[in-house]
Chains A and B, each alone.
Chain A
Amino acid sequence: MFFKLIIGCTILFGSLLSNAQVEKMAVIEGGEYIPLYGRDSARIKVDEFAMDIYPVTNGEYLKFIKKNPEWQRSKIKALFADGNYLRHWKNDLELGKKELVEGPVTNVSWFAAKKYCECQGKRLPTLDEWEYVAMADETLPDARIKDTYNEFILGWYEKPQSFNQEVGSTFRNYWGVYDMHGMVWEWTLDFNSVLITGESRRDVDKDTNLFCGSAAIGSSDLMNYAAFMRYAFRGSIKGNFAIRNLGFRCAQDIEPFRKNKLANENF
């Protein structure tokens, strides 16, 4: 494990985040929320944490794989990514012609995304953290009841090629975070946890939660079709999948984030 970390992360292992990196994160106040699939009794507590303001870009990811060549397209272990990994790049170290340096990196597997964040001294956000931040629109921390909020997300599902825009081109939400909706899907640390009911005898049918009738019966918010599709999407993927419309961003626990911030300020 130790060995793997050493060779896996030559950027920042054990060191502080740079000032720029700290500034690119927003502090998300803790709170509770009822996820799509839950009931009132299933309120989820989310602790205060920090989240990247933007999804990770092609440019940032390129820097990462330059320093960590084992994550380059031709060198990545088959176990960690399927054949679509960085397929839109020209080669190991060059973007495709139409790709934007400031566009979100996609066709990245969960293993790669997780490693990227670890190498920044961060981690992937949990599914609950991600959903908690994604409930917000420009003005409200929980806008799920607003028609316009749901319409915007549904509208994105119908917009082809939305990955091909610079990060920050969609809206800035209540927390100061951009592009939670309208750009790309995003990996979360425990992306497939929602399919596990927690009741082991029922886990044989866990995959059926989101199909047909059972999807409607199990949901806490019938109008929240937009979120249905997010959960359906997550249910369809595996950790080694690399998908054209799927990117990621990183998060960090609040303690190390504060420490870093302080250190940077004092520095």
Chain B
Amino acid sequence: MDYFFLKLNKIKKNWHFAFVFFLALFLASCNNRDDDASKNPEEIKVSLKMKAELTAPPHVPKPTARRKAKQLIVDMEILEEEGEMTDGVSYVYWTFNGTVPGSFIRTKVGDEVEFHLKNHPDNKLPHNIDLHAVNGPGGGAVSSFVAPGHETVFSFKVLNPGLYVYHCATAPVGMHIANGMYGLILVEPEEGLSPVDKEFYIMQGDFYTKGDFGNPGLQPFDMKKAIEEDADYVVFNGKVGALTGDNVLTANVGETIRLYVGNGGPNLVSSFHVIGEIFDKVHVEGGNLINENVQTTLIPAGGAAIVEFRVEVPGEYILVDHSIFRAFNKGALGQIVVKGEENHRVYRGKIQEGVYLPEGGAIQEMPISDEDFEASQQPEKQLSLEEKIDLGKNVYSQTCLACHQANGQGVPNAFPPLAKSDYLNADAMRAVDIVMHGKTGEITVNGKKYNSVMTAQNLTDKEIASVLTYVYNNFENNGTEVTEEMVKKQRRSKSAE
């Protein structure tokens, strides 16, 4: 409609009337046609023949925009070939047009698709294709069954707008899908989808290999794991890293991004989420229903969704299956890098960083019986220096070693040394306090400045006395023996404050 009015504005005034009249006629006939078509898309006439543009993921063919329904020739070749699952791991993929997922097919409602399916002569197996966009038995599977070295041609008319999965449906179906034989076909409504700035094609799939995740070498398909639905890899676009590193998707601040997201399965349902974005619009399950302001959308195996969002703030946005172990342990990660100006009205980033030290976080205790209470009141046997050092060594290795290191040398610029430490040897009570309550801020140790954080350690008085005694009697320190009494005194003075 807008298009016609734009045209109208350019018309010379003296022609105004005539054109408006003509236009009115034209629009009226147009509207009639729309009504008929929406009643019965079977009746949509096709005009010309056209070869379909097919794209490898993550790319999407050009929108059908205003073009009329056509006879659309789709040419696809099935290839069985080795590819990389992740660094050092390869897998024999079965593919439509050499990629997982297979090429994206973009059609318009009413298109008559003439589908040419070719099975490469070197392939071992017969294949076929079941397109969920087809109204007819098997979605075309029966008509498209093709032996290696052969080609079948079948045709169908697309009647229902939406985003649909296609896949191979030759026995054993699960194995053909598990090896990568799926993709997406979009049927645009007559008026086309609204224009956006960026469109991408993403499809999740789960893979089952003899070796576990990351086991190197050529990994064969594992039928047992597939039946048990115990996936080793859950990935976007056929492999780990298909959308990360050098392969990230890119966009600019202010752009609207549309993702065509499918799920080939064979088994797992995807909880598709983009970390740091909210989907402004989701075509639920790829159909007409539009949901708005969605955080995570569920994509069934053998299903799809169209999600749209505008990126307001620059940065990295992570695509995940929010069944989150799949993302961080099985590969279901992708990335959109958005460039442009910061937008502080929307997001200010980190304003300040502080430390939170839980002070006296009381540990709850169960009430105890009188006998136990009596027993607990018995004065405990004081540890000898040797016993303290033994106990202290254990405490040190469990609590202190990670930062202060095995020989108390610390880590330059991060964690101060405990070995030959002037700061430590100067004041034992200060050391007790630091272990008990933590320490933050700048200190100088052996002439070097440290500005770091040590959290309060949840240790008993005996453990604090022992670990400090251990430290003072090792690493060439001054041999101070810290007693439990000193620790208790420090606790009392702190609580008195």
> Quick check: which of B38-46, B138-146, B353-361, B414-422 contacts chain A, the rest being far away?
B138-146
Of residues 239 to 267 in A, which have CB atoms within 8 Å of B's CB atoms? 241-245
Given A228-B172, A229-B171, A237 contacting B147 (CB threshold 8 A): yes
Chain A CB within 10 Å, residue with most, of B122, B148, B221: B148
Of residues 110 to 163 in A, which have CB atoms within 8 Å of B's CB atoms? 147, 150-151, 154-162
**Which of A162, A232, A237, A243 interacts with B171 by CB under 8 Å?**
A232
Main DSSP-derived SS at the A contact region: helix
Asked whether A171 is an interface residue with its Cβ less than 8 Å from the other chain, the reply is no
Asked whether B92 is an interface residue with its Cβ less than 8 Å from the other chain, the reply is yes
How many Å from the CB of A259 to the closest CB on chain B? 38
Given A84-B121, A154-B221, A160-B80, A211 contacting B92 (CB threshold 8 A): no
Of residues 108 to 165 in B, which have CB atoms within 8 Å of A's CB atoms? 121-126, 128, 130, 137-138, 141-142, 145-150
**Residue in chain B with minimal CB distance to A157:** B124
Sort chain B's interface into a size bin: 20 to 34
**Which of B92, B150, B169 interacts with A241 by CB under 8 Å?**
B150
Bound CA–CA A87/B221 (angstroms): 31
Asked whether B341 is an interface residue with its Cβ less than 8 Å from the other chain, the reply is no
**Contact residues in A for B145 (Cβ distance below 8 Å):** 207, 211, 235-236
**Contact residues in A for B125 (Cβ distance below 8 Å):** 157, 229, 232-233
Of residues 175 to 193 in A, which have CB atoms within 8 Å of B's CB atoms? 185
B169 touches A244 (CB 8 A): no
**Contact residues in B for A6 (Cβ distance below 8 Å):** none
A233 touches B223 (CB 8 A): no
Bound CA–CA A164/B116 (angstroms): 29
Asked whether B173 is an interface residue with its Cβ less than 8 Å from the other chain, the reply is yes
**Contact residues in B for A84 (Cβ distance below 8 Å):** 121, 149
How many Å from the CB of A249 to the closest CB on chain B? 18
Bound CA–CA A232/B119 (angstroms): 14
Asked whether B318 is an interface residue with its Cβ less than 8 Å from the other chain, the reply is no
Asked whether A12 is an interface residue with its Cβ less than 8 Å from the other chain, the reply is no
Bound CA–CA A235/B128 (angstroms): 12
B170 touches A232 (CB 8 A): yes
Asked whether B387 is an interface residue with its Cβ less than 8 Å from the other chain, the reply is no
**Contact residues in A for B220 (Cβ distance below 8 Å):** 151, 154-155, 158
B147 touches A241 (CB 8 A): yes
Bound CA–CA A103/B80 (angstroms): 22
Asked whether A220 is an interface residue with its Cβ less than 8 Å from the other chain, the reply is no
Bound CA–CA A212/B80 (angstroms): 20
Bound CA–CA A228/B174 (angstroms): 12
Sort chain A's interface into a size bin: 35 or more
Asked whether B436 is an interface residue with its Cβ less than 8 Å from the other chain, the reply is no
Asked whether A61 is an interface residue with its Cβ less than 8 Å from the other chain, the reply is no
Bound CA–CA A231/B399 (angstroms): 64
**Contact residues in B for A155 (Cβ distance below 8 Å):** 220
How many Å from the CB of B149 to the closest CB on chain A? 5
Bound CA–CA A228/B172 (angstroms): 6
**Contact residues in B for A151 (Cβ distance below 8 Å):** 220, 223
Asked whether B81 is an interface residue with its Cβ less than 8 Å from the other chain, the reply is yes
Bound CA–CA A241/B141 (angstroms): 20
**Which of A154, A160, A231 interacts with B223 by CB under 8 Å?**
A154
A150 touches B171 (CB 8 A): no
How many Å from the CB of A54 to the closest CB on chain B? 20
A235 touches B126 (CB 8 A): yes
20 A-B contacts (beta carbon < 8 Å)? A147-B224, A154-B175, A160-B82, A185-B124, A207-B142, A208-B142, A210-B170, A211-B128, A211-B173, A212-B141, A229-B172, A229-B175, A232-B125, A236-B170, A237-B147, A241-B149, A243-B121, A243-B147, A245-B122, A245-B124
Chain A residues at the B interface, C-beta cutoff of 8 Å: 84, 87, 147, 150-151, 154-162, 185, 207-208, 210-212, 215, 223, 225, 228-229, 231-233, 235-238, 241-245
> Which 7 pairs, one residue from A and one from B, show the smallest C-beta to C-beta distance?
A236-B126, A215-B171, A236-B147, A158-B92, A228-B171, A232-B171, A225-B172
Give 11 A-B pairs besides A147-B224, A212-B169 with Cβ atoms closer than 8 angstroms: A211-B128, A211-B169, A211-B170, A225-B223, A229-B125, A229-B171, A229-B175, A231-B171, A232-B126, A235-B126, A241-B149
